[in-house]
Structure 1
Amino acid sequence: MGFDSYIHIANALVLMYCKCGAVEDALYIFEKIDGKDIISWNSMIAGYAQHGLALQAIDLYEEMKKQSIEPDAITFLGVLSSCRHAGLVKEGWFYFNSMDELGVQLDLDHYSCIVDLLGRAGLLDEAKDFIEKMPIYSNAVIWGSLLSSSRLHGSVWIDIRAAENRLLLEPSWSATLVQLANLYASMGYWDRAAGVRKLMKDRGVKTKPGHSWVEIKDSVCQFRAEDRSNPRMAEIVFVLDILVDHMKNLGYEAEMHEEVDNTLFSIG
């Protein structure tokens, strides 16, 4: 109908296609836009970052600079997010430091990206020091990011430190309370673990069971941990068992192929 010639509608289309996962369609619209504004570039960079296409996001940012488009805080948020998902520590530091040089104001979201980037890379001490030296107060999200990373990489002491700091900001966060109690118990600090449990009881904090959900046509089906109220639970478990056996067989076949390849390589 020709409305895509309007910059605001074209930008909305780019954003929509990115959110739908149709990155190629988003790029098609983006490349057709005449007189791209900062929102056009930011939408496409964010779309790349959202789907883990870090190199494309960085390349687009560099192209943006060549065309003398000044980046803003949202631009760098997209670039840093892409570096975070791809584990590009060196690149993430570079673009983070360049924000100050370009006069772009840093906020908590940018700091959070760096903490998550360092944590995912296993640089937990560096991430902790970064948080403690931040010129602005950290929030629960930042400490929660370090908490997840330390749990992933098995660093108990940093895990405890992150959990304690997150609880100072969100005292009633049940998941963190349970995790902190378990961490204390794993280190043999039984008094501290009991203290956290008592704190939960006194405050009436209860843990919520984990659940997943799937949308089928117009209905949403939820599955909670250890919940057997679903009348078709026996069928569900049966199908899950089949899938588990199938995955095990695939893993066994992959190992067999690898052994055969190694044998042929050594013979050759």
Structure 2
Amino acid sequence: MKFTVLTLFPELVEVFFDHGMIGRAMERKLISGESINIRDFATDRHRTVDDRPYGGGSGMVMKPEPLGRAIRSAREKSPRAKVILMTPQGKRFNQEDACRMAEENQDLIFVCGRYEGIDERVHSLFVDEEMSIGDYVMTGGELAAMAIIDSTARLIPGVLGSEASPLADSFVDGRLEHAQYTRPERFEGIKVPEVLLSGDHGKVAQWRLKSGLTRTFLNRPDLFEQTRPSKEEKKVLLQWAQELKALAGESV
């Protein structure tokens, strides 16, 4: 699977491709990545990629000619690639999208806008999908594109050290992941929960289920509206509620 990023600042993306999980996956030929400088496709001596918007207004708009040529060039290298525009008006990216992209295993071309955005004609002529990573505005789409690449690439078989790792991620089953602990057993007076030291896999699994559910309830209760609690989850939540009620009674 190839990830191509069209940007005015390719050095930002190149560092991302060279390090960490992404860098190791590229070395092992599990994925490939390329950054393309949109400015290389400008034809004037100043390599102009932006201009004033028609109708007036503040800021500048990315010109369609250099960007269109850059997209066509990227598509020549990846004919079946999907072109994704990073924009605040796009669909909000989530774990389900990451799973879908990883399963499709289709090359992706990310268009990273700058300034006030890109000429609207590029949308209709070249873009297959518009995406956002949240309801806020950034100075460019590069960080958003890298976030999507990272979350998608880690789901491709072989990229992570353990094939089971992504199966326990937050949001995979509509819940947040359970709390994690490692050595030492005690840190600044706080001890690792005894159940995690017991070696009883059944009790550990039950503790992790409860931990994930309570974290979801406290931090992202909206996830229960998207995925209704199962019979087992309801039982765990009810038990937790009873424990809280008993604790509240003792403190009165």
* TM-score of the two chains, using structure 2 as the length reference: 0.26
* Structure with bigger RCO (C-alpha 8 Å, 6+ apart): 2
Q: Which has the higher helix share?
A: 1
Q: Which has the higher strand share?
A: 2
* TM-score of the two chains, using structure 1 as the length reference: 0.25
